[in-house]
Amino acid sequence: MAGLKIKEFIERAGIRNQDELAEILGVSDQTVSNWVKGKSFPIHQMEERLIRMGMTIEELFGTDVWEIVKGMAKAELSDEMFEKKSDFFLNRLFAKIDKTEIK
């Protein structure tokens, strides 16, 4: 699995570099570097903070994962209900990711 698309997010968010993002999030430079390299991924609380900062789901999880989640959600809900319930589906996804061991 590819790492987070931190470079795209940093550029879009007006953050100078990975070190500044690490400082904003209160994590080490190495932690952000590991996210970029796909060696580790943010814990649920960091995922939420990144999303609140404006990181897109595609940047955080990759396009393939987001398409799967949308497909699952739309199979259960109309488009309008999906928008209203998106937090529910994101929390469900985060819970599954938190339980998954990264190798």
- Give the sign of the dihedral formed by CA 2, CA 40, CA 5, CA 81: positive
- Over its length of 103 residues, how does the chain's per-residue pLDDT go in tens digits? 446 788 888 888 999 999 999 999 999 999 999 888 878 878 878 888 998 898 887 787 766 666 666 676 666 666 666 666 666 667 777 776 666 655 4
- Give the sign of the dihedral formed by CA 36, CA 12, CA 27, CA 66: negative
Q: Which of 48, 39, 30 is nearest to 90 (CA)?
A: 48
Confirm whether pTM is higher than 0.85.
no
Q: In whole angstroms, what is the distance from residue 8 CA to residue 3 CA?
A: 12
What are the respective helix, strand and coil percentages of the chain, to the nearest 5?
70, 0, 30
